[in-house]
Amino acid sequence: MHYVRIKRNELLDTVIKNREIHSKEYTKALDDRLLVIEETLRSLHYDLVNHVDIPESVDFPLPQSFLSEYDKIIKMIEMEVREEIEITHDQFKQWVMDDWQWTSMFKSLTSTYSG
């Protein structure tokens, strides 16, 4: 397995910044979702009043927060006593590049609401 040696403080700063970005994206997705729900309900009400067929169901999947993933990593880095930390390439991909297993699913769902 290949490792990357990285300065603890730089890693901590990066993960904190990535967490802030995720938090903002998550909050925006929730707000955008509410706007889509409101717009859809208005449209459904209009169709109902005008006797237009309406769909049997509508779906508004709730975006998932992964802040706890960041919090766990941040705590681990904060508690590390060494000034340099060795992390795997996979950890580097997630923690530094902010590319997690759930990233594409999260971005796909949030993009459905950002219209």
Q: Could you read off the pLDDT of 71-80 as tens digits, one per residue?
A: 999 999 999 9
Average pLDDT over all residues of the chain? 95
Residue 97 predicted with pLDDT over 90? yes
User: What is the DSSP code string of 6-44?
Assistant: EEHHHHHHHHHHHHHHHHHHHHHHHHHHHHHHHHHHHHH
Q: Report the predicted TM-score, pTM, of the whole model to 2 decimal places.
A: 0.89
Residue 61, pLDDT score: 95
Q: Which domain holds residue 37?
A: 3-114
| One-letter amino acid for residue 44 of the chain | L
Give the integer Cα–Cα distance in Å for 93 and 59. 33
Number of structural domains the chain divides into: 1
